[in-house]
Structure 1
Amino acid sequence: MSTTKNYSPIEDYGLIGNLNTTALVSKQGSIDFMPFSRFDSPTVFGALLDKEKGGFFSIEVKDGEVNHKQLYLPDTAVLLTRYHTKDGIAELTDFMPLAEEEKRLVLVRKLKIIKGKHTFRIEINPQFNYGKNGFTAENENGVLVVKSKGEERSAFQLHSELNFNIENNLIWAEVELESKDELNIALVADEESDNRAKTKSLEYYAEKSFEKTVRFWRNWINKSTYSGRWQDVVNRSAITLKLLSSGKYGSTVAAATFGLPELIGGERNWDYRFTWIRDAAFTMYSFLQLGYTEEARRFISWIQQRSLEIESASDLKLMYRVDGSTDLREIQLKHLEGYKKSAPVRIGNGAFSQFQLDIYGELVDTIYIYNKNAEPISYEFWKSLMKFIDFVGENWKEKDRGIWEVRDDKREFLISKVMSWVALDRGILIAEDRSFPAPLERWRKTRNEIFNDVFNNFWSEKRKAFVQYRGGDTLDASALLIPLVRMLSPKEPRWISTLRAIEEELVTDSLVYRYKLEDGGSDGFSGEEGTFSMCSFWYIECLAKSGEMDKAILYFEKMLGYANHVGLYSEQISLKGELLGNFPQAFTHLGLISAAHQLRMLMAQNNMLKGTGRIN
């Protein structure tokens, strides 16, 4: 390999996608991560997880010092990477035409010289099946067809004006371009061994697909009902959530990647390319806040199908593949060294079979909001939903793994009780609103029992706060959800005391840790982790609801400074300011949207109270 690959910081990447898969493009113009050709498929480019074995697709200026800049075309998922040298400027445009139109994966890379003369080196190192399989390549009718050496049939066509060389497990070419020259490369999934993308000139195809892609994203973002302050960052988060949504199935994935560490060199390296019931429910809540009822409708249809497939509510899985299947066996890819040698690299997720009570509350809450603000749910769906609510009523006292998916002992977690209360409360509200048949008296009695249990038995006089689990002393940032789901008023004395305790122990300015273990405590993992960005946005909402608007706005705008150069967030942030964990993460972006929405509403109310009627 002629190019020496190094690990770029996680924050140095932009995301592109086609509502079926995604790719990460570095500030240097290298695609270092791309599942082929669905979110949860094996990667063909995975240098992000092993710089030698993972595979990549790079476009670089060959000689001289280069200053790289990267940005999105506003209100789109089209990514621009600029190369600035002493001789001029070149610009690389990366995008994926929407899968709805193409029916298969197409990656388009358009290189244009703005000024000067440049020599570029293009290197493509495909490593199919998570880097296990090499490739073969041959020219067929003027198109380079690249195939996996493995048993599983995987292949793509490479369309370009270039004549590529193939040597040393590398496809490469060098080309000299000058002002106004353009070079187009299209990678097309070779699913049917034809050359349909070649029916018209590559230049024509690249330009027309660019126009269609830009038009799609701008038309989509124009449907958002959010306006005013922070509109640009809310739009970017909305586009990111859309990129993590399946156009075919209506489900969403928790993050684009797998295996990225929560601590460099640590073992907390998980696969997040699946549909968590919890994460997807929160995502639909964010879409509904922005007026995207179609996305919520498609997820409701997806979850209704899951409910019809199971006999008992206990059979509902914590997570699924995007198509609703449940083969999520956790496997370690021992041949990959991991990002900056952070092994193990895992695919699949062993937590899929865990018992977590909170998912029922998050699901019922989302359906309640959908029924109230989008369109009425059907009676058939209500009957399916009732079995989930009844299940919570019968099992809310059970121990579980909690919202953070601990892998040591089961416990009675605070947030599991809170979300059990939500499941019953929202079920009651749906039934009352629609006059649906329901055992309301029994549900109300159980809801009240849960409330009293939380208020009295999860309160620690020692900590003056609600604690993570029954009988413990650990504080947990998930308690920030208590006023957000309206279980307690944000002015409730015990809640205010809990907020102050969380600030004292878990908050560093605007950064918030999930929890800190007691001496000798365990969550089933070794090593520390960074601050959890979603918790920061929960904290900001809590501040706003409790009347500390100036502080909430200050911390929200500080959190905006922790996004990367194109407005993306991973799961966590280290105290050094590094992005950690899988990237970009839906939870963080939906947390940002919810906080921005809450702040905007409260600012409007405050301005109306002042008689200004002005929304900043």
Structure 2
Amino acid sequence: MSATPIADHALLSDCHSSALVDTSGSVEWLTFPRFDSPSVMARLLDDHAGHWSIRPAGDFSSTRRYLDGTLVLETTFHTPSATVVLTDALAMGPDNEGHRLGRDVPHLLLRTVTCVSGADELEVSYAPRPEYGLVVSLLSETPGGVTARGGAEWLVLTTPVPLSLTRGTGVGRTRISAGQTLYFALHRSTLEETPAHVWAEDEIAAVLDRTVDAWRSWSTLHQSYEGPWQDLVHASGRVLKALTFQPSGAVVAAATTSLPEGVGGERNWDYRYSWVRDASLTMEALWVAACPDEADDFFAFMATAAASGVGPDRALQIMFGVGGEHDLSERSLPHLSGWRDSAPVRVGNGAWGQQQLDVYGELLGAASRLTDQLHDLDADTRRFLSALADAAAVRWREPDQGIWEVRGAPRHFLHSRVMCWVALDRAVALADVIGDRSRVGEWQRVRDQIAETVVREGWSDTAGAFTQYVGTDALDASTLMLPIVGFLPATDPRVLATLDAIEERLTDERGLVYRYRTEDGVDGLAGEEGTFLLCTFWLAQALAMAGRAERAREVFERAARYVNDVGLLGEEVDPATGELLGNFPQAFSHIGLVNAAWAIAEAEQRVPTG
């Protein structure tokens, strides 16, 4: 059973695929060549599903950081006799500066070990397990390294430490002394590459330097936010960039699958796909945390992925594979025990077949925010944006599964209707960009009709707040979006009452916000879940917009204290233990952090001084 805390991991990304490395120097998750590819290493989900560890052989403690402006990880091991630094990165290609981060990457995991002082023994353990641990690779020695064949994978490990190979696992030890550096690399090769390409020390050093420079170039060109929690905002911007699939412009919701929303429960989902909602909100957050030069690519990706049509008679699919794939059929992997025995482990995601009406508003909201970055939209993309508004205008009265993708019965969720209002409101504002003014009158008429209906049917006198869906008194954190998207002013008495109700009745003892109360049974699933970091940041953002900047800061700090040692957030927090839960790192949480920090900065600028 894998039990390492989720927060003990750090993300590596080449904007194609991802790896997670824990505090002891073990790669516990690795996918090649895409985020959603079958894992090569997945000890995160089962002890037998693969890893690659480089660590001191005896007792040690460790600290770690990302090199400034990068996602290149530096772990420092402190032993009784030495200080050793491990540097990890997924390599960037030769032309990856500025606007080109993630182009033509070599699918190469780099690892270097430098002894800063003293001397000690290192231990290396290498166990590739392709296809989510189903395949035990055949390992063979090659000069300077080890090849691994198994399933569809042909991996070449460059290692200066000779490994003893037994049953698909290589282990070895070596002594390292002050001033010495060891160079390792794991390359996803092709079967045609014969002999296997083992990387020379100078090649590894050069590619690592190039990767550091590429990240720093991107950060320097794109990250200009200056305000409260600047370091956290910039780190979140890099995380959001790291979750972008460069070849298509898609954005994944998280780097992992099946890390649970409740320990031992069934709320375990695959988040390595591009949700329209999450990706659109990522584009908006990048507007704050980094210049979103990906905007053109993202909207082109969405228009292409949805090329089969969207409109009044055809709903927009709510998520796609990173290459634009539609069929994301869900299945379980019974051979994996799951993190802390949280089964089932799933790949694919059944939500791809759901109707979620909020996606029209999220896409058009992102387009509105990013107007300055959308240059010379092609005719297909303009038609696509216009069709989104038409679909919202017709479908807004229909029940759906909502923002939280409930697996119970569809309902008339308030948030979905509000986001249909957003779709039409933004389409009116974007009419000239879209190139279609003929629909403006109809869009305005339906927008106003939605607004009247939401206010009439969404408010509950009993709850003293806007509620989850029509006909209930249950609270839902998604109603915090009413002021955030501009549906009502944050100072409206009904909005203020809703903020108070959520803070009083939808939070845990730490003051973190639940999405909703699972005991109400709306989501059709057994068990409980943690508090949602995104929702807590929403509360901070809404409080800031309401002029309660000091209170907003308090709420922000509650959520921000769960950032791990390298600036990463999961999806949820366990109410009992305070541990991070859910897939990791979670784009939603970093989006919430960025937007809340920006809203607080804006609110504090409005407060008169003197």
**Interval of TM-score (by shorter of Structure 1 and Structure 2):** over 0.9
What is aligned with 2:97? none
Check whether the contact 1:287–1:296 (CA below 8 A) recurs between aligned residues: no
What are the residue-to-residue correspondences of 1:481-492 with 2, within 5 Å? 481-492=481-492
SS at match of 2:131: helix
User: Residues 543-574 of structure 1: CA distance to partner in whole angstroms, max 9, x if unpaired?
Assistant: 10111111112222332211111110000011
* C-alpha contact 1:108 1:206 (8 A) present in aligned 2: yes
Does 1:106 pair with 2:108?
yes
Q: Distance in 2 between matches of 1:79 and 1:364?
A: 36
1:15 corresponds in structure 2 to: 11
Separation (CA, whole Å) in 1 of partners of 2:240 and 2:489: 30
Residue type of the alignment partner of 1:57: W
User: Residues 389 and 102 (structure 1 numbering): CA distance in 2 closer, same or farther, change over 3 Å?
Assistant: closer
Q: Aligned pair 1:242/2:241, yes or no?
A: yes
| Preserved contact between residue 14 and residue 105 of structure 2 (Cα < 8 Å) | no
Q: Which residue of 1 aligns with 2:148?
A: 146
Cα shift at 1:67 = 0.8
Counterpart CA distance in 2 for 1:344 and 1:517 is 20
The structure-2 alpha-carbon separation of the partners of 1:475 and 1:157, relative to structure 1 and needing over 3 Å to count, comes to same
Q: Tell me which residue corresponds to 2:99.
A: none
Q: Give yes or no for contact 2:311–2:390 (8 Å, CA) kept in 1.
A: no
| CA distance in structure 1 between the aligned counterparts of 2:19 and 2:373, rounded to whole angstroms | 34
2:70 is matched with which residue: 64, 67, 76? 76
SS at match of 1:47: coil
Q: Secondary structure of the equivalent of 1:342?
A: coil
Per the alignment, do residues 124 and 518 of structure 1 end up closer, same or farther by CA in structure 2, a change over 3 Å counting? Answer: closer
Name the residue aligned to 1:304. Answer: 303
Is contact 1:510-1:556 (8 Å) kept? no
**Equivalent in the alignment of 1:439:** 439
Q: Helix, strand or coil for the counterpart of 1:448? A: helix
Structure 2 CA distance, aligned partners of 1:375 and 1:400? Answer: 34
Partner of 1:28: 24
Give structure 1 stretches of 5+ with no counterpart. 612-616
Provide the secondary structure at the position in 2 that maps to 1:128: coil
Q: Which amino acid aligns with 2:206?
A: K
Looking at structure 2, the residues matched to 559 and 518 of structure 1 have their Cα atoms a distance apart, in angstroms, of 24
Contact persistence 1:45–1:56 (CA under 8 A): yes
Partner of 2:596: 595
Counterpart position of 1:582: 583
Partner in structure 2 of residue 218 of structure 1: 216
CA distance in 2, matches of 1:538, 1:393: 27
SS at match of 1:389: helix
For 1:411 and 1:235, locate their aligned partners in 2 and report how far apart those are by CA, in whole Å: 38
Whether contact under 8 Å (1:474, 1:517) holds in the other structure is no
In structure 1, what is the Cα distance between the partners aligned to 2:376 and 2:431?
Answer: 11
| Distance in 2 (alpha carbons) for counterparts of 1:412 and 1:101 | 43
Q: Does the residue aligned with 1:423 lie in a helix, a strand or coil?
A: helix
Q: Of the candidates 36, 41, 44, which is equivalent to residue 40 of structure 1?
A: 36
Is the contact made by 1:160 and 1:202 (CA closer than 8 Å) also made in structure 2?
A: no
Residues 124 and 172 of structure 2 are in contact (CA less than 8 Å); yes or no, is this contact kept in structure 1? Answer: yes
3-state SS in 1 of match to 2:147: strand
Question: Which residue of structure 2 lines up, in the alignment, with residue 479 of structure 1?
Answer: 479
Structure 1 CA distance for aligned equivalents of residues 244 and 557 of structure 2: 27
The aligned amino acid for 1:329 is S
C-alpha contact (below 8 Å) 1:110/1:184 kept by paired residues: yes
User: How is 1:397-412 mapped onto 2 (pairs within 5 angstroms)?
Assistant: 397-412=397-412
Residues 119-198 of structure 1 aligned to structure 2 (within 5 Å):
119-148=121-150, 150=151, 153-194=152-193, 198=197
Is the contact between residue 90 and residue 114 of structure 1 (CA under 8 Å) also seen in structure 2?
A: yes
Does structure 1 conserve the Cα–Cα contact (< 8 Å) formed by 2:159 and 2:185?
yes
Q: Which amino acid aligns with 2:274?
A: T
SS at 1:208's partner residue? Answer: helix
Structure 2 counterpart of 1:203: 201
Aligned equivalent of 1:614: none
Distance (whole Å) between structure 2 residues aligned to residue 426 and residue 354 of structure 1: 24
Matches within 5 A, 1:287-326: 287-310=286-309, 312=311, 314-326=314-326
Identical positions, percent = 36
Query: 1:365-514 residue pairs with structure 2 within 5 A?
Result: 365-372=365-372, 374-375=374-375, 377-378=377-378, 380-431=380-431, 436-508=436-508, 509-514=510-515
Looking at structure 2, the residues matched to 435 and 19 of structure 1 have their Cα atoms a distance apart, in angstroms, of 33
Structure 1 window deviating more from structure 2 (372-381 vs 571-580): it is 372-381
Matching residue's letter, 2:106: R
- Whether the 8 Å contact between 2:310 and 2:384 is mirrored in structure 1 is no
Inter-partner Cα distance in structure 2 for 1:43 and 1:534? 27
Moved more, 156-165 or 120-129: 156-165
Greater Cα shift, 525-534 or 509-518: 509-518
* Structure 1 contact 293–374 (Cα < 8 Å) conserved: no
Change (3 A) 1:471 1:311: closer
Give the Cα separation in 1 of the matches to 2:434 and 2:316. 25
Find the residue that maps to 2:366 and give its secondary structure.
helix
Whole-angstrom distance in 2 between the partners of 1:457 and 1:432: 33
Partners of 2:310 and 2:284 in 1: CA distance? 27
| Structure 1 match to 2:85 | 91
**Are 2:2 and 2:45, in contact at CA under 8 Å, matched by a contact in 1?**
no
Amino acid at match of 1:525: L
Which residues in structure 2 correspond to 1:343-354 (within 5 Å)?
343-354=343-354
SS of the aligned residue for 1:138 comes to strand
TM-score of the superposition, structure 1-length normalised? 0.94
Shift of 1:587: 0.5
Q: Distance in 1 between matches of 2:299 and 2:21?
A: 32
Determine the structure 1 residue equivalent to 2:258.
259
Q: What is the identity, as a one-letter code, of the residue corresponding to 1:344?
A: P
The one-letter code of the counterpart of 1:319 is M
CA contact (8 A) 1:287 1:295 kept: no
User: What is the distance in 2 between the residues matched to 1:258 and 1:467?
Assistant: 31
Aligned-residue offset at 1:518 = 5.6
The worse-fitting range, judged by mean Cα deviation, of 160-169 and 218-227 is 160-169
Contact 1:160 1:185 in 2 (8 A): yes
Report the more deviating stretch, 70-79 or 409-418.
70-79
Q: Secondary structure at the match of 1:563?
A: coil
Structure 1 stretch displaced more, 349-358 or 137-146:
137-146
What SS does the corresponding residue of 1:144 show, helix, strand or coil? strand
Residue identity opposite 1:97 in structure 2: A
CA RMSD of aligned residues (A): 1.9
Paired position in structure 2 for 1:355: 355
Which digits, 9 at most, give the CA deviation of each residue in 1:86-106, with x for residues without a partner? Answer: 112111000011154654310
CA shift in 2, pair 1:499/1:534, >3 Å: same
Q: What is the alpha-carbon distance in structure 2 between the residues aligned to residue 117 and residue 189 of structure 1?
A: 32
Deviation digits for residues 217-244 of structure 1 (CA, Å, limit 9, x no counterpart) = 1111112120243121111101111111
**Is the partner of 1:16 in helix, strand or coil?**
strand
Judge conservation of contact 2:399–2:412 (CA < 8 Å) in 1. Answer: yes
Note if contact 1:370-1:376 (Cα within 8 Å) is conserved in structure 2.
Answer: no
Inter-partner Cα distance in structure 2 for 1:567 and 1:489: 32
Aligned pair in 2 of structure 1 residues 328, 6: CA closer, same or farther (>3 Å)? closer
Q: 3-state SS of the aligned residue for 1:269?
A: coil
Contact 2:257 2:269 in 1 (8 A): yes
Moved more, 10-19 or 225-234: 225-234
1:435: Cα distance to partner?
6.5
Query: 1: CA distance between counterparts of 2:55 and 2:384?
Result: 54
The gaps in structure 2 that reach 5 residues or longer are 94-101
Task: Tell me the amino acid that sits aligned with residue 572 of structure 1.
Answer: E
| Paired amino acid for 1:532 | F
Higher alpha-carbon deviation: 365-374 or 584-593: 365-374
What letter is aligned with 2:204? A
Whole-Å separation in 2 of the counterparts to 1:13 and 1:165: 27
